[in-house]
Chains A and B, each alone.
Chain A
Amino acid sequence: MGNEESVFFSRVLTELTLSFHIIYATIGVGVPLMIMIAQWVGIRKNDEHYILLARRWARGFVITVAVGVVTGTAIGMQLSLLWPNFMELAGQVIALPLFMETFAFFFEAIFLGIYLYTWDRFDNQKKHLLLLVPVAIGASFSAVFITMVNAFMNAPQGFDIVDGELVNIQPLVAMFNPAMPTKVAHVVITAYMTSAFILAAIAAFRLLKGSDHVYHKKALFLTMKLGLIFSIGAAVIGDFSGKYLAEYQPEKLAAAEWHFETEGEAPLMLYGVLDGQEVKYAITIPYALSILAHSDPTAEVIGLNDFPEDEIPPLYIHYLFDTMVTIGVLMIMVSGLYWLGRHMRWRFIHSRWYRWLIVAGGPLTVIAIEAGWWYAEVGRQPWILRDIMKVPEAATTSGHVDTMLYLFATLYLILGVGSVVVLRRMFRKNPVEREIADREAEVREGTRKGGDHR
């Protein structure tokens, strides 16, 4: 295998691993907060349905965490094996958040175990809820620390290279790079958003399948509300990301918008087809790119023609950006209409087609997450470390990356299918109606048993 081939297979394997891991990582970051909110509402309103929501979500969450650990370990291993030259440099500068991510995960895992095995062991439910706080914090901070590393790849700082040697290494400066705030906040809030819409899709699906239990109605209303809040937040932080890109990575923004000439009053292009440097059939929103980039409709936005040809990212990222934004806006509308419709008692939000739309929102938000990550990573090309190291310079020269690709693809297939099968069986064998009836019977008889209801 030649070096070009090993670079190609290294890229494919990394893309495959990250694309698979991000699904479980997103759920792993977002669901603990959803569990916490549900349990908190249950305690506050003394409503067993919300407590049961927290219990059932926690059970499913454990499966996704288990898969996330495997794929997360694979990423750690692949970073060193596939991109040794990158890790040689990054390992000296940005290793701190990589280690802190591991500690955040341990923090989460330890308290998750205690939380799961202490249901019904506290007379005061609030004490049990407190155990979930470190789980949610650990999960979110795992995302914070690992995204700091990714942000560093986009805006490296905190070191100097003198005669090929790394000097003046400042890990904290590297962590708190200019890309960090918008990237970290966007990753975390979209994880919450995606988790809320996945859980909403499950509740809507149960209602579509004939269960009219109030449990599902409460679950749907709660998750759609949370989805609305976090999707609006994601859109606002997305706007801040536009300002960051315009300042620090203008080629990424210009490529996403097919913006070739540096000009003021720049329009935003949605969809369309590229013919040379001419954009055809696009929906054009006047001044919107200038507003996105600089909060000023007349501001100048740097175009792609100002950059060397070999430093321009692939232009198909335009479609990735549009996919992410379109799904985000769609979910704001779907959840906003649902929330409004509930208050106004509109009939159509109870219709089958609207519930199917909510069900579709689950996989759609996962597609948006994938599109967003692909945009973030492909948009940084050709660099692995912007302006310092290009992707081919960082890759391994090993001749066996293709074999690794096939092995890992098989592993992810087994994990993906396995986790879906386990989750389906887990909830099918123990439907919510039966569990509610069992718990009500237990409460009536006053014979609550401790710790064996998971």
Chain B
Amino acid sequence: MDEFLMFYAPFIVLIGAIILAFIVAPMDGAATRPPKEKKK
């Protein structure tokens, strides 16, 4: 198990993070959404 975590998993995580970044990046609906109004 540790063998896999030391030698293969680092590259899987790195490549996975890059792919995830491209998938998530265009989802920007929340970027310009205004915050909730203050309760009076």
Known: A45-B26, A294-B2. A342 touches B10 (CB 8 A): no
A414 to B24 CA separation, bound complex (whole angstroms): 40
Interface residue tally on B, bucketed by range: 20 to 34
A188 to B38 CA separation, bound complex (whole angstroms): 42
Known: A295-B2, A347-B38. A181 touches B10 (CB 8 A): yes
Q: How far is the CB of B19 from chain A (nearest CB, A)?
A: 10
Give the residues from 1 to 40 in chain B that come closer than 8 angstroms, CB to CB, to chain A.
1-2, 5-11, 13-14, 16-18, 20-22, 24-26, 28, 30-36, 38
Contact B13 A237, beta carbon cutoff 8 Å? yes
22 A-B pairs whose Cβ atoms sit less than 8 Å apart in the complex = A37-B22, A37-B25, A178-B7, A181-B11, A182-B10, A185-B11, A192-B18, A214-B31, A214-B32, A217-B31, A218-B31, A220-B31, A225-B24, A226-B21, A229-B20, A233-B14, A237-B13, A240-B5, A243-B6, A244-B6, A295-B5, A350-B35
Known: A229-B24, A244-B6. A222 touches B36 (CB 8 A): no
The residues of B that contact A181 with a CB separation of less than 8 Å are: 6-8, 10-11
Interface residue tally on A, bucketed by range: 35 or more
Contact B14 A240, beta carbon cutoff 8 Å? no
For A44, give its contact among B2, B6, B26, B33 (CB under 8 Å). Answer: B26
A350 to B31 CA separation, bound complex (whole angstroms): 12
A239 to B10 CA separation, bound complex (whole angstroms): 10
Which 3 A-B pairs rank lowest in CB-CB distance, beginning with the nearest? A185-B10, A221-B31, A233-B17
A51 to B11 CA separation, bound complex (whole angstroms): 30
A189 to B12 CA separation, bound complex (whole angstroms): 12
A436 at the B interface (CB under 8 A)? no
Give the residues from 436 to 450 in chain A that come closer than 8 angstroms, CB to CB, to chain B.
none
1/0 per residue A12-43: CB within 8 Å of B? Answer: 00000000000000000000010001101100
Contact B17 A218, beta carbon cutoff 8 Å? no
Which residues of A come within 8 Å of B, CB atoms?
33, 37-38, 40-41, 44-45, 178, 181-182, 184-186, 188-189, 192, 214, 217-218, 220-222, 225-226, 229-230, 232-233, 236-237, 239-240, 243-244, 247, 294-295, 342-343, 345-347, 349-350
Contact A233 B25, beta carbon cutoff 8 Å? no
Contact A186 B10, beta carbon cutoff 8 Å? yes
Q: How far is the CB of B24 from chain A (nearest CB, A)?
A: 6
Q: A182-B6, A229-B17, A294-B2 are in contact. List 17 more A-B contacts (CB 8 A).
A: A33-B21, A178-B7, A181-B11, A189-B13, A217-B32, A221-B30, A225-B25, A229-B20, A229-B24, A233-B13, A237-B13, A239-B5, A295-B5, A342-B30, A342-B31, A345-B35, A349-B35
The residues of A that contact B34 with a CB separation of less than 8 Å are: 345
Q: How far is the CB of A362 from chain B (nearest CB, A)?
A: 19
A186 to B6 CA separation, bound complex (whole angstroms): 12
A244 to B9 CA separation, bound complex (whole angstroms): 12
The residues of A that contact B8 with a CB separation of less than 8 Å are: 181
A222 to B25 CA separation, bound complex (whole angstroms): 6
For B6, give its contact among A41, A45, A240, A345 (CB under 8 Å). Answer: A240
A347 to B39 CA separation, bound complex (whole angstroms): 11
Q: How far is the CB of A174 from chain B (nearest CB, A)?
A: 16
The residues of B that contact A247 with a CB separation of less than 8 Å are: 2, 6
The residues of A that contact B13 with a CB separation of less than 8 Å are: 185, 189, 233, 236-237, 240
Contact A230 B26, beta carbon cutoff 8 Å? no
For B14, give its contact among A41, A189, A244 (CB under 8 Å). Answer: A189
Contact B33 A184, beta carbon cutoff 8 Å? no
The residues of B that contact A295 with a CB separation of less than 8 Å are: 1-2, 5
Q: How far is the CB of A130 from chain B (nearest CB, A)?
A: 15
Known: A243-B2, A295-B5, A345-B34. A218 touches B10 (CB 8 A): no
Q: Taking CB as reference atom, which chain B residue is nearest A183?
A: B10
